[in-house]
Structure 1
């Protein structure tokens, strides 16, 4: 078996360490990007729910609020925030109200969730 000289072996170890650090940094950056994407997607679905309130479609209000809730809860696990927690509570209430065909209260909760998500984005 052929053994590398000590300086070549050290160079290879340093290259391996550099690649490991670079990969770890890229993975960390990708995780942060995913978190930002979840907030954007939650906000998008809240805006869609608000549109459905204007169109008086409680079924789609519940649907979009549920999708926003899924993204918000996922983000809350990754990056806890008091405004995000409040948005999650409002989304849960909006879904419940919309499923009971209570358009006005569902709309109020969706709008409150939107305001809380905007605070998270600051």
Structure 2
């Protein structure tokens, strides 16, 4: 494994841990999450979103630690579609840039 690929995988591990942390916050404290982000939804819905985010982070952590290139590659089209959707919905540019950076590092981790 090349040093670039190793660095990309390390960043994907960090991304997975961040996803789990970001998912834990609305799961354990949905009212505060709603107040901070301005998202108006029932607490149960926010907890469900948090739980889903924790699961996504967990699966990303596991397949990255295992070096499962097929699984890493399978996330790239969905991430590109998500970035395209965020662009079409005119969401903030940092979100789009962040997702494209994750796509870039996923590609490096798979193909480098």
- The verdict on a shared fold, with TM-score over 0.5 as the criterion, is no
Structure number with higher relative contact order (C-alpha < 8 Å, ≥ 6 residues apart): 2
Quickly name the TM-score band, shorter chain normalised.
Answer: 0.3 to 0.5
Task: Provide the TM-score with structure 1 as the length reference.
Answer: 0.37
Larger Rg: 1
